[in-house]
Amino acid sequence: MFYSIRWLLLSLLLIILCQEINATHIIGGEINYRCLGDSTYEISLVVYRDCFYGVPYFDNPASIGFFDSDNELIREIGDNGQLFMFVRNDDTLSPILDDKCYVIPPDVCVHTTTYRDTITLPFREGGYFLSYQRCCRNETIVNIVDPDNAGASFTARISENALLECNNSAVFNEWPPIYICANTPINFDHSASDIDGDSLVYKLCEPLTGVIPSAPRPQPPNNPPYDPVVWNEPLFSFDNKLGGTDPLTIDPQTGLITGTPTIIGQFVVGVCVEEYRDGVLISTTNRDFQYNVGICQASTAAFFTAEFYCDQLEVRFENLSERSLGSKWYFGGIDNPIDSSTAFEPTFTFPDFGTYDVTLVSIGNFSDCNDTITQSVTILDLQLEVDVDIERGECSDTLDLKFIANVLSDSLSDFSYLWELNWSNQNIFSTDTFVAFSVSNTRQIDVYLRVIGEEFNCWKEVSFTYESDLILEDSLVRNVIACTRDTIGLFPGFYPGNSYLWSPADLLLDPPDSPNPRFFADTIASFTAEVFNENCTGVVFVNVGIYDEEEFKLAPDTICGSRTVQFTENPFAGFADITLWRFFEDSVIISSSLQPFPTYTWPSFGEKEVLLRPIRAYGLNCPDSIRQSIYLFDLDVVLEPSFERIECKDSLEVQLNAGVVGEIIGSHEFIWIINGTDTLENRDSIVNLIVTENQLVEVEVVFRNDFGCSSSASLSFQSNLLPQLRGYEELSVCLGDSIQLNPPVISGVPFSWDKTDFFLSPSNSADPWVKPDTSIIYRLESRFEDCTYSYYFDIEVVEYTAQLDSFFICDSVLTQVIELPFPDSLILGWFVGEINSPILSGEQNSFSVEFPDFGSYPFTLIVRDSISECIDTIFSNISIFDITAWEAEIVVVKSECIGDSINLILIAEILGEFSDDGEIDILWIINVDTITTNISDSLFLSFAETPIVDIVILIEDGNECSQFFSRIIEFEFVEIIDLIDTLIICKGDSVNLLPSFNSGWDYVWSPAEGLLEVITTSNPLASPQNSTLYTAEINSETCIGSKSVFVEVLDLPIVLDVSASPNEIIFGDESFLNAIVEGDIVSVSWDPDETLDDPNILNPIARPTETTTYTVIIETEDGCLATGQITITVLDLPCEDAFIFIPNAFTPNDDGVNDIFRVRSVNIDRMSFVVYNRWGQEVFRTEDVSKGWDGTFKGKEMPPDVYAWHLEADCIGGERFIQKGNVNLIR
C-alpha cells in the first residue's frame, strides 16, 4: 500500500462524502390534506429516507397527531388524537445530471413512500395543527449543529376558514433533485398546485426538530411548538443555507429556487407555500428536504506502480481512478495482452523478466465515457532479497516493537527504504532501515516495506500482517443480563487468536477451555477467564444477572395514599449503558427519566403505567422492555377506635368500635389484633370481644381494602377480672361415704350456694362436708364489681358391683390353675370351699388348687374398683368334670367325584358320659373354614375344587366341655378351567388342541375328522378345513370329566392383481404401484420400502434408482396373510443436452416466477456452475444443483445485461458433461 498526494486528496473527499452512518436517516417530507366533504379529509404524508445508510424502514404505522390552537392533543379526534397510517408503497428516486458521463457517488440513494388515509375533522375554533415526528437526520449534514441527534417534524395547519370552506391544501409539483453539482447554479421550479385556485406565496422556512434519539418515534407526536434546527454558524444560517456567495433564494410568486452551491456535503432546506383566499391566509404546507452537493465529473483512470522491480515477478497495482464504475486491466499490451483482470487493485505475476505495458480502463456510465491510461513496468533479473526482523517488549497496556529491514543483494549500491505501518486508524511512515514504535489496544499491524536500489532505481516490496498478541479484553468486566432458564454464551466477542480457561467450571455446559462457553441461567453467577496466547496473558470477568419476566415487578401493583413512587427495582441496572423510564397517564407519555432508580410523582391518583427499556443491554435474551400498570389509590380513611363494656359474667364482653373517619370505597375488611397474636376479621367496623383473664388488653385495628391499602390505629384497657373465682371440678364418692368441698374464696367477696342437699355442714360454710346418695352438681356464686363468677362441683356417686362367672373345668386331672379377671392390686382376698373351712385361700389373681374329687365347690372373692376405690364381695362356684371317657369316629357312608365336584355322606359315632344330661352339640369343621353345626350324628357335603377334605368334629355338652376328632380324605380332580376353549387359525394352518394336558390321565377325542393324530392322543394336532368343536372324555383314578375345544378356521385374503404404471421408467422418474385385493384387510406393507412415498398403502408412488421387484403383503385383522409381486425396470438417462436444461433469461424481481437462474436436471450427480459478467468477473458459483443465482453480487443487485455461464457436470453413471453459454438478466 503506497500513497501519493493525489490519493490523499481523494481519500479526504471520500471521508466527506461517504462517511459511514449508523443511525436512522430522515431526508425530508411533507403533509397534505384534501377535503372530501361532510367534515371528512384525506390526509397524505410523504416521507423521504436515505436508502443507502438509513435504518430502519419506514414507520409502519406512522402516526399523525392533531393539536388545537393551544397546542394540546385533541384526544376525541381519530384514535386518541392520532391517525395511524400504514405503508402503501415505496419507490427509489433516480438522480439526474446534465452530462451523461457525470458519475454520481453510489451512496446517494433516496427512498420515498406516501401514507394516505381519511379522518373526520369537525369544525373547531382555531383550526387544526397536524404533526409527524421522526428521528434522526444524516449525521453528515454540514449546515446544522449535531445533525445525528436532530429529529424532523413535518407539519401542516388547517385554519378555521379552511374548515368552513372545505379547503384543499396546496401540493408541491416536484421533489427537488437529490444530487446537485458543486459550483453549478441551481434553477429549480419548486412551485405547487392548488385545485381550489387560491393564491400561493412561497418562502424559505425553518426546518423543525422536536424529537430526540432516546425517543425517536413518539406516538402521539410531542406537543408543539417545535424548535427550529440550529444553523452551523457563521458559515451557514437561515439566510445562507448552502454557504458561499450566492445564497439559496425562492421567488415568492413562482416558487423558483436559485443559488450556487460551492461547498461539498449534505444540506437541510425548508420550503413553505402559503395559501390565501380573498387576501386571508387559510392554510400552510411545509416541506423539509435535503440537498446532496458533490463534484460532477466523468470517470478518470489513474494508477500507481514503480518503473523497475528487482527479483520480483509479482507486482501489485494501486488504483487511483476517480468516479469509476468498474475497472479493466490489461497486462502486456491492450491489443494482445498476456492476461486481464477486473479487480479494483489486482496483483499480477509476470511470466519472466522484461518490460511490459500495463493498461487500466476506468469504466464510465457509457462506453464512450470510459477513460484509459497505460504505463510501462520493467522486471529486472537482479538479486534483491528483503525480510524483516522483529523485536518486541513485554506485554502491558502498551507494546514496544522494532521492525528491522534485512537486505541481501548482488548490487553494491545504496538502498533507500519506505516503511508504512497501519493499525487502528493510525499509521507511521519512515525512511530508516528500522522503525521503532509502541502500540496499544490493537491486535493487528499491517506492515509494508519498500526497498529501492539506488543504482537502477529498482523496487522490492514486502508486506504482511503482524499479530500483536495483546489481550485487549484484559481486566474487562462484562455484565450480562439473561432471562431465567435461558442458555447464554458468556463471551460471544472472544478473539479466535486467544485461548480461554473459565472458572467455576461446574456451572458451565461446555468445557472450561471453550472461548464462549454456555451457561444455563437459573441463578446469578460470576465467572473469571484466564486469557492467554503465545506472548501475553490477561483476565476477563463476566457477571450474569437474572431477569424473570413472569415474576419481576418494577413496583407494587398498588401504591396507597401517595402519588409519588420511588422505583428501587431495575434488573438492567449495571447491565445496560442506559435505562430509559417512561411514565404514562391515560396511555400518554407524560414524562421520562434516564436515572437508574428514579422517583416520580404523578399529577393524580388512579390507573398509571410505567415502562422501563434498557439501551444497549448485554446478553439480553428477554423482551427488550418491561411495562407495568400501577394503581395509585387515594386512601382517605382515618381510624379513631373506642371500646364499651357489655356484660361481665365469668368473663368480660366488650364492644370494639373502629371509629372510621372518611369515605370507604370498594370492598374492604377490618382486622382486629388482640395482644399481638389473636386476630379477628370482619367487614363491619364494630366487633364484640370476650376477655377471660385479668389483664391489660391491647387492641390494634387495621382497615384494608381490595387494593391492598390499609390504615391502622390502637387502644388499650384493663379488664379487672378475678378469674380464680370461676372454675369446675369433677369429684366422685362411693355410695355411703362423705366428701368435703373446697372452693376458692376471697375474703370480703360475698358468696352463696345454689343448693344445700346432703350437707353435713351449715349452709353458709365456705368448705362444707356432704354425703350424697345420688350424683349432684353444686354451684358457688361470688360477686365483685358488677361481675358474677361461678364455681362448680360435679359429684358422681359410685355404686360398685363386681362381676365373676362360675368356673366349669373339663379335664382329666384334679389339680387346676385358676385365673381371676382382676389384677393383684384390686384383690383383697378369695376362698375356695366354705369361708369358715376353705380348701385354699389367698389374694393373688392366679393360683393352683388340688380338688379332692370331681364335682362342684363354692368360691368367694373380695375386690376393689380401680377407679372409684369402692369394694364388692362376689359369691361363685368352681365345677370340675372328667372328659377322658369320650370317644368318636367319622364314618364315610357315600363318596362321589365328577370333574372337580365332590358329594359326601358322613356319620359321627359317639360314645361316653357327659357333664349334664342334656343333648350334646356336634360341630363339623370342613377344611378349617367350612363349619356346620348339626345335632344329628350324620352330614351330607357337596363342594368343588377341593381335592383334599380335612374333616374335624367338635363335641360339646351343656357345660361347654368339648373334645375334637378328625379325618382326612384325598381326591384327584379332573381339572377343567374352561368348559370350552376357542382356537383361531387361518385355513391351512394346524394347532395343538390341549397343550396343558395331564400325562397321568386318559383322553378320548371326537370327532376324528381333521385330527392329524389318533383320538387317544392327549394333545393331538388338528388342521380342519372348517370350524369344528372337539370334545375329550378325561378319566383320573378318582374323578372323571370332559373338555371341549372349538377350532375356528378363518378364510385367507386374496391378492387379485399387482401392477405398476409405467413398469419401465427413466432414472429420477416415478411409477404408480397398485394392488387389487379381496377381503377385509387391516394392514398393507411393501418391500423394499426405501424408494416408496408411503409403503403402507395399496397405491404408493415408487422412485427406484435401479430395477426393483416390489412385494406387497396384505394382512387381515386376524393376522392371515397374502402376497403379490411386480417389477419396475429403471432406464439410465443419456448425459445430453435434452436432459440438462439451462434457461437463456431470468427476471429476479421477487414475483415468484423465474427469479432464480439455475441448472435443471435429474441426471446430475456432481457439478460446478459459474456465472461471469461481460468483463469476465465471476459473480456466482455453486456446486449444488438445487441452488441458483438471484442476480446479485456481494449483496447488490446486478444491472440488466448478458452474462456468461460455464457448466461442468458428472452425470449419474459417471459420464462427463461440459457446456457454456449466455443468459439475459432482465429487470
> Could you tell me if residue 907 is inside a domain?
yes
Q: In this model, does residue 7 exceed pLDDT 70?
A: no
Give the mean pLDDT of 114-133: 93
* Cell numbers for 1014: 389318533
SS3 725: helix
- Of 365 and 67, the one with more pLDDT: 67
Are 389 and 524 in the same domain?
Answer: no
Q: In this model, does residue 483 exceed pLDDT 80?
A: no
One-letter-per-residue 3-state SS of 473-506:
CCCEEEEEEEECCEEEECCCCCCCCCEEEEECHH
Q: What is the pLDDT of residues 234-247, one digit of tens each?
A: 989 999 999 888 99
CATH number at residue 775: 2.60.40.10
The Cα–Cα gap between 276 and 287 comes to 18
**What percentage of the chain carries pLDDT values higher than 90?**
32
Q: In what order do the strands lie in the sheet with 371-380?
A: 339-341, 327-331, 354-362, 371-380, 308-310, 458-467, 444-453, 415-423, 426-430
Q: How confident is the model at residue 562 (pLDDT cuts 50, 70, 90)?
A: confident
Give the mean pLDDT of 853-876: 86
Residue with cell 379522518: 119
Is residue 530 within 8 Å of residue 387, measured between CB atoms? no
SS3 826: helix
Q: What is the pLDDT of residues 1041-1076, one digit of tens each?
A: 788 889 888 888 888 899 988 988 877 778 899 999
> Could you tell me if residue 1203 is inside a domain?
yes
Are 727 and 709 in the same domain?
Answer: no
Identify the pLDDT of residue 679: 78
> Could you tell me if residue 1114 is inside a domain?
yes
Q: What is the DSSP string of 1107-1146?
A: -EEEEEEEEETT--EEEEEEEEEEEPPPSSGGGSB--SEE
Distance of CA 956 to the CA centre of its chain: 82
Name beta bridge partners: 653.
647, 690
> Which of 294, 319, 336 is the C-terminal boundary of a domain?
294
Identify the pLDDT of residue 652: 82
Q: How many CB atoms lie within 10 A of CB 329?
A: 23
Q: In this model, does residue 10 exceed pLDDT 50?
A: no
**What percentage of the chain carries pLDDT values higher than 70?**
93
Identify the pLDDT of residue 121: 94
Q: In this model, does residue 407 exceed pLDDT 60?
A: yes
Are 277 and 166 in the same domain?
Answer: yes
Contacts of 1147 (CB under 8 A, 6+ apart): 1153, 1154, 1155, 1226, 1227
Q: What is the pLDDT of residues 155-171, one digit of tens each?
A: 999 999 999 999 999 99
Most confident of 268-272, 474-478, 733-737, 923-927: 268-272
> Could you tell me if residue 269 is inside a domain?
yes
Q: In this model, does residue 401 exceed pLDDT 70?
A: yes
The Cα–Cα gap between 259 and 181 comes to 12
Least confident of 640-649, 695-704, 1068-1077: 640-649
Are 460 and 334 in the same domain?
Answer: yes
The secondary structure element, H or E, covering residue 6 is helix 5-18
State the amino acid at position 989 in one-letter form: D
Q: What is the pLDDT of residues 141-159, one digit of tens each?
A: 899 988 888 889 999 999 9
Are 271 and 344 in the same domain?
Answer: no
Q: How confident is the model at residue 552 (pLDDT cuts 50, 70, 90)?
A: confident
Contacts of 1187 (CB under 8 A, 6+ apart): 1158
Quick one: which of 29, 462, 612 has its CA closest to 269? Answer: 29
Identify the pLDDT of residue 198: 92
The Cα–Cα gap between 248 and 293 comes to 13
- Of 541 and 807, the one with more pLDDT: 541
Quick one: which of 865, 40, 867, 1 has its CA closest to 447? Answer: 1
CA distances from 768 to 759, 760, 789, 868, 1004 (A): 7, 7, 19, 21, 101
State the amino acid at position 1131 in one-letter form: L
Cis peptide before 310 (omega within 30 of 0): no
Least confident of 10-19, 42-51, 205-214, 954-963: 10-19
Least confident of 174-183, 243-252, 536-545: 174-183
Are 246 and 326 in the same domain?
Answer: no
pTM reported for the whole predicted model: 0.40
Q: What is the pLDDT of residues 1163-1173, one digit of tens each?
A: 888 999 999 98
Q: In this model, does residue 20 exceed pLDDT 50?
A: no
> Which of 756, 771, 798 is the C-terminal boundary of a domain?
798
Distance of CA 30 to the CA centre of its chain: 44
Name beta bridge partners: 400.
438
b/e per residue 725-736 (b: at least 16 CB within 10 A): bbeeeeebbeee
Are 1038 and 904 in the same domain?
Answer: no
The Cα–Cα gap between 1217 and 182 comes to 57
The secondary structure element, H or E, covering residue 11 is helix 5-18
Q: In this model, does residue 803 exceed pLDDT 50?
A: yes
Are 1098 and 1194 in the same domain?
Answer: no
Are 428 and 330 in the same domain?
Answer: yes
Identify the pLDDT of residue 394: 92
Q: How confident is the model at residue 22 (pLDDT cuts 50, 70, 90)?
A: very low
The Cα–Cα gap between 442 and 495 comes to 12
Are 73 and 178 in the same domain?
Answer: yes
User: How much is the mean pLDDT over the chain?
Assistant: 85
Q: In this model, does residue 836 exceed pLDDT 80?
A: yes
Q: How confident is the model at residue 270 (pLDDT cuts 50, 70, 90)?
A: very high
Q: Where are the beta strands (DSSP E) in 1137-1197?
A: 1145-1146, 1164-1172, 1178-1182, 1192-1193, 1196-1197
Q: What is the pLDDT of residues 427-461, one digit of tens each?
A: 899 999 999 999 999 999 999 999 888 777 888 88
Quick one: which of 498, 536, 534, 535 has its CA closest to 516? Answer: 498
* Cell numbers for 98: 446534465
Give the mean pLDDT of 1012-1025: 89
> Could you tell me if residue 1 is inside a domain?
no
Domain of 998 in residue numbering reads as 980-1050
> Which of 847, 882, 917 is the C-terminal boundary of a domain?
882
Is residue 20 within 8 Å of residue 110, measured between CB atoms? no
Length of the chain: 1227
Give the mean pLDDT of 789-795: 90
Name beta bridge partners: 259.
186
Q: What is the pLDDT of residues 951-974, one digit of tens each?
A: 888 887 777 777 788 888 777 676
> Could you tell me if residue 460 is inside a domain?
yes
Is residue 641 within 8 Å of residue 701, measured between CB atoms? yes
Q: In this model, does residue 1121 exceed pLDDT 60?
A: yes
DSSP state of 23: S
DSSP state of 229: P
Are 985 and 1106 in the same domain?
Answer: no
Q: In this model, does residue 886 exceed pLDDT 80?
A: no
* Cell numbers for 767: 368448705
Number of structural domains (the chain) is: 11
The Cα–Cα gap between 968 and 964 comes to 14
* Cell numbers for 897: 367325584
Identify the pLDDT of residue 412: 61
DSSP state of 758: T
Q: In this model, does residue 619 exceed pLDDT 60?
A: no
Is residue 1170 within 8 Å of residue 1205, measured between CB atoms? yes
Q: In this model, does residue 745 exceed pLDDT 60?
A: yes
Distance of CA 1092 to the CA centre of its chain: 38
Identify the pLDDT of residue 869: 82
CATH number at residue 566: 2.60.40
Are 1175 and 1196 in the same domain?
Answer: yes
The Cα–Cα gap between 377 and 170 comes to 65
SS3 8: helix
Q: What is the pLDDT of residues 987-1018, one digit of tens each?
A: 888 889 888 888 878 888 989 898 889 988 88
> Could you tell me if residue 421 is inside a domain?
yes
Q: How confident is the model at residue 1131 (pLDDT cuts 50, 70, 90)?
A: confident
Longest dimension (CA), the chain: 163
Q: How confident is the model at residue 13 (pLDDT cuts 50, 70, 90)?
A: very low
* Cell numbers for 474: 484484559
Least confident of 52-56, 80-84, 318-322: 52-56
Identify the pLDDT of residue 27: 82
CA distances from 880 to 652, 806, 816, 1004, 1055 (A): 70, 11, 9, 64, 94
The Cα–Cα gap between 947 and 76 comes to 99
Identify the pLDDT of residue 44: 93
> Could you tell me if residue 975 is inside a domain?
no
Least confident of 9-23, 600-614, 638-652: 9-23
